[in-house]
Amino acid sequence: MRYVRQKLVQVVIVLLATTFLSVFLMRQVKGADPAIAISGGLVSDPKALEEIRHKWSLDKPIVVQWGRWVKNMVKGDLGQSSAFNVSVADLLRQRVPTTLYLMLYTQVLSLLIAIPLGVYAAYRPNRLFDRVSSSVAFGLLSVPNFVVAVVLVLFFSLKFHIFPAQSTYYGLFNNPSEHIRNLLLPTVANAVGQVAVYMRLLRADMVTTLQNDFITMARAKGLPSSRILFRHAFRPSTFSLITAAAVNVGALIGGVVITEQLFALPGVGKLTVDAIFRRDFLVLQACVALFAIAFVVVNFAVDMAYAFIDPRIRHARALA
């Protein structure tokens, strides 16, 4: 419990700091009048400007502005987008599902591919399969996701016309087949690098686990290999994998920003980039803060889940 409390305090501090930084960064935009600057010069009506200035306390010190922003955010009010002419909160509500699906599919797909490959490579270390898969994984680690995306589009959209080069978002329940068809290429583009990371981690941990006495014991009892691998060795080998999956959410967010832009998918990533180009700083600030908050919360949740999965860690940390 003390461990949870400590972590919680840390998370709150980090959350406060990240929101402060996102407010602080957006106030660095050059411009004589901060009200004009944060609305990207799109609002010129003096009355509207006065309203913006008042709403975000722009004439007060930065700390007050930050407090104001957090207070409004908690109430669900993130301001009015100057470029899209709707409230920022509505805008985010519209865009979040696409990004969530994309990230979820990427994680699921990469784990689905990485787990069997990693387990098999560890089962027969240094054999042909292990050597080939390790080298391939190493190569895949070095391909940026936008390069993967370009190559995928070249072959699957332009040469063979199987998947669209410019995706449209379809709801999962409205049109499941189009939903998958449009999200598949961006998902694969993001998953390629992750598969390599996960596979290498799982393989390394699994090789160590398989040297344990309880594995020898299980073998001596004559259990089939598949049962030993998945029932005995898999769980104790997944801890680095779980941590990596959480830490990777950060890289994944970066990947999503790029792939959404490339495939014209209307998610939060594309919204971020659009907000930059249209100099809509309230939207940009909300997006930056949203990404940081999501990342922190995911990592906290995984840290907690970790302690629940592994009693050894729970006890070790309670003692510490």
Partner 1 sequence: MTFTAAEAPESLVHIVAPLPDDGRPRVHRGFLPAFAVVWLSVLTFCAIFAGALPFVKAPNKVSSKLKNSPSMEHWFGTDRIGRDVFSRAIYGARTSLKIAALSILIGIFIGGTIGLIAGYYRKKIDYVTSLFVDIMLAFPALVLALAITSTLGHGTNQVVLALSILSIAPLIRVVRAQTLVYAQREFVLAAKGLGARDGRILFREILPNVMPSLLTFSLTGLAILIVAEGGLAFLGQSVKLPTPTWGFMIVDGYPQLEHQWWICIFPCILLFLTVLSFNVLGDVLSKRFDIKESLA
* 144 is a site residue for partner 1 (CB under 8 A): yes
Cα 118 from Cα 69, distance rounded (Å): 46
* 13 is a site residue for partner 1 (CB under 8 A): yes
Instruction: Tell me the closest approach of the beta carbon of residue 143 to partner 1, in angstroms.
Output: 6
Structure tokens at 148: 């993967």
Annotate 172-194 with three-state secondary structure: CCCCHHHHHHHHHHHHHHHHHHH
Neighbours of 68 (CB within 10 A): 17
- Contact pattern for partner 1 over residues 80 through 119, marking x by CB under 8 A: ----------------------------------------
* 32 is a site residue for partner 1 (CB under 8 A): no
Contacts (CB under 8 A) with partner 1, residues 190-209: 204, 207-208
Question: For 317, left (φ over 0), alpha (ψ -120 to 50), or beta?
Answer: alpha
Of the candidate spans 49-57, 70-78, 144-152, 179-187, the one that interacts with partner 1 by CB under 8 A turns out to be 144-152
Cα 83 from Cα 166, distance rounded (Å): 23
* 28 is a site residue for partner 1 (CB under 8 A): yes
Angle at 213 between CA 211 and CA 217, to 5 degrees: 115
Of the candidate spans 22-30, 83-91, 182-190, 224-232, the one that interacts with partner 1 by CB under 8 A turns out to be 22-30
Question: For 45, left (φ over 0), alpha (ψ -120 to 50), or beta?
Answer: beta
Neighbours of 303 (CB within 10 A): 19
Of the candidate spans 58-66, 73-81, 106-114, 285-293, the one that interacts with partner 1 by CB under 8 A turns out to be 285-293
Query: By C-beta, is 183 or 289 nearer to partner 1?
Result: 289
* 139 is a site residue for partner 1 (CB under 8 A): yes
Residue 230: closest CA among 132, 85, 118, 88: 118
Angle at 194 between CA 19 and CA 212, to 5 degrees: 110
* 163 is a site residue for partner 1 (CB under 8 A): no
* 158 is a site residue for partner 1 (CB under 8 A): yes
Residue 270: closest CA among 166, 177, 142: 166
**Total residues at interface with partner 1 (CB under 8 A):** 59
**CB-CB contact of 107 with 194 (8 Å):** yes
* 320 is a site residue for partner 1 (CB under 8 A): no
Cα 129 from Cα 212, distance rounded (Å): 23
Of the candidate spans 56-64, 93-101, 103-111, 284-292, the one that interacts with partner 1 by CB under 8 A turns out to be 284-292
Of the candidate spans 17-25, 58-66, 83-91, 182-190, the one that interacts with partner 1 by CB under 8 A turns out to be 17-25
Cα 122 from Cα 152, distance rounded (Å): 30
* 4 is a site residue for partner 1 (CB under 8 A): no
Binding site for partner 1 (CB under 8 A): 10, 13-14, 17-18, 21-22, 25-26, 28-29, 125-126, 130-131, 134-135, 138-139, 141-144, 146-147, 150-151, 153-154, 158, 204, 207-208, 211, 240, 243-244, 247, 249-251, 253-254, 257-258, 261-262, 272-273, 276-277, 281, 284, 287-288, 291-292, 295-296
